[in-house]
Amino acid sequence: MSAHAPARPLIQLRGVTKRYGQGQAALMALKGIDLDVRAGEFVAIMGPSGSGKSTAMNILGCLDNPSEGQYLFQGAHVEALTRDQRARLRRRYLGFVFQGFNLLARTSAQENVELPLLYRGTNASIRHAAAARALQAVGLGGWEHHTPGELSGGQQQRVAIARAIVTDPAVVLADEPTGNLDTKRSQEIMQLLVELNRAHGITVLMVTHEADMAAYAERLVHFIDGRIDGDAPNPHRAGVAASAAPMVV
């Protein structure tokens, strides 16, 4: 390869389709998607309900397989992997942030953040240190022993983000991460994702239907009826000039 050749995209979808059901009852959720995502990008995936954006996110997150087409991650064909191999890829390279936080209610912030490392079999001292660093990175140093019921919605989402980054993933997949938050908390969570993307180089793929949240991404991909209807840089990116110091919410 030439020294001046562009690096291979981190993620490549080629002709990806997703079909649910058979025969006349079949539903084509994706109809031949081509998408490249390079390491370090922040991409917002938008579209109305039923457009295919969540189906695409499930495939990108190795939670589902395409019916046809190719999904390459760092050049490896994900669609050809076994269920166990996809699970290992998820644990090693991907972090997830959900709209509903998905925290264990009776478990401390520290223990919630440690869960991905526990599933990996990481020893306790390394888990504790990594979780403390992740909580510090999202502005929750000192809150390690609080349970979700003792935290605000914004703080709970910060715990969820800490859990997503504790394994040093290549990619964070965020599914409507501000959907349960008010405007101020939503803006603070988005600024945090921007900071993780810019300062730490984490690739962020975010599904959202909110244009003001998508404005924080550097690239906007629009889905309509199972196809990509638009894919363009965001010329007016929000949040990139704000202070790098995360705020405790």
Q: Residue 243: its pLDDT value, please?
A: 41
Give the single-character DSSP code of 55: H
Which of these, 157, 61, 166, lies nearest to 101 by C-alpha position? 157
104 within domain boundaries:
yes
Alpha helix positions (H), 166-240: 183-200, 211-214
Q: Residue 233: its pLDDT value, please?
A: 96
81 within domain boundaries:
no
Q: Residue 237: its pLDDT value, please?
A: 87
CATH at residue 170: 3.40.50.300
Q: Residue 1: its pLDDT value, please?
A: 44
Q: Residue 4: its pLDDT value, please?
A: 56
Q: Residue 158: its pLDDT value, please?
A: 96
Which of these, 60, 46, 23, 4, lies nearest to 231 by C-alpha position? 46
197 within domain boundaries:
yes
206 within domain boundaries:
yes
> The domain containing residue 154 runs over which residues?
41-55+92-233
Please list the ranges in the chain whose pLDDT falls under 70. Answer: 1-6, 240-249
The count of domains in the chain is 1
15 within domain boundaries:
no
Q: Residue 110: its pLDDT value, please?
A: 97
